[in-house]
Amino acid sequence: MTDIESTNRDDVAQHELESSLTARVVRSFGESPDDRLGFIMTSLTTHLHSFLREVRLTEDEWARGIEFFTAAGHITDDRRQEFILLSDVLGASMQTIAMNNPVVGDATEATVVGPFFTEESPEIPLGGDMAGGASGRPCWVEGTVTDTAGVRLAGARIDVWEADSDGFYDVQYDDGRAAGRGHLYTDDVGGYRFWGLRPVPYAIPHDGPVGELLAAVGRSPMRASHLHFKVTSEGMRTLITHIFVEGDELLESDAVFGVRDSLTKKFVEHAGGSSTPDGRDLGDSAWSSVRFDIVLSSVPS
């Protein structure tokens, strides 16, 4: 037998060894009492094994991968979710959102929730201030909430949250503050309005394993300037979205791929001393304003 023939035989044997292992693992999920779970695990196994074989992953690289996930687990707590961050920077969050929030007429597009949403936030009145002492330029935000037929939705709940001028959310501080965060309800004609802060660009947390990964592949951790919204109304699909600042130079390189053209809005700048929509006295401070009309789709029957 020639060396070439021997090599070819070994290659065939190696291929059969690897293929048979994948088949055995796939079969192990064949009797799952949960059909959906069995399907997911079978597909996951197939793609995972294909990836391992395509890149010919080394044992050292596999060990480093395990260490990465272990470190992500260790840094995750009730204030920081490193696995959500990983999902975001891989585009997995946005892909899942795209699949689960299909286009329905002119319904407002969804985007990532991010790692800093909390269920508890202070209620603010219509026209109130959600900044809560957080630093930044005041920004008047107003709009309506309607369904896709244009019917205005009274009593819709709107949760809003954003970073301060230093690029940090309240939960990133250790003093328990609630700032740059709040919720309010639309009025009888579906209108809403509040004072917040003009959004600023900031870096996602990059002092952990996800940040190390981004640095290793030469990617920036910066997010385009944005303001978060979560909107709920009876009979309507819950919407989680942002609005982004028109002209932001980071719109094309947002670290978590969350930007959508329809969510990019014009923030109007106003000089200090100019009159505000609600008569608030800002002295000589400059301020901004933006309008965001929100359209919800109905829950599928």
φ, ψ for residue 145, nearest 5 deg: -120, 120
CB atoms within 10 A of CB 1: 7
The helix-helix angle for 3-28 and 35-55 (nearest 10°) equals 160
Q: Would you say residue 68 lies in a domain?
A: no
Q: 48 in a domain, yes or no?
A: yes
Report pTM.
0.87
* Span 169-187, pLDDT tens digits: 998 888 888 999 999 999 9
Domain that holds residue 27: 3-57
Query: Are both 234 and 185 inside the same structural domain?
Result: yes
φ, ψ (nearest 5 deg) of residue 151: -75, 130
Q: Are 47 and 90 contained in the same domain?
A: no
Using CA atoms, how far apart are residues 97 and 212, in angstroms rounded to an integer? 26
Confidence tier at 2 by pLDDT (50, 70, 90): low
Average the pLDDT over 70-76 and give the result. 96
**Residue finishing a domain among 57, 75, 98:** 57
Q: Which tokens hold the place of 121?
A: 């936030």
Percentage of residues in the chain with pLDDT exceeding 70?
Answer: 97
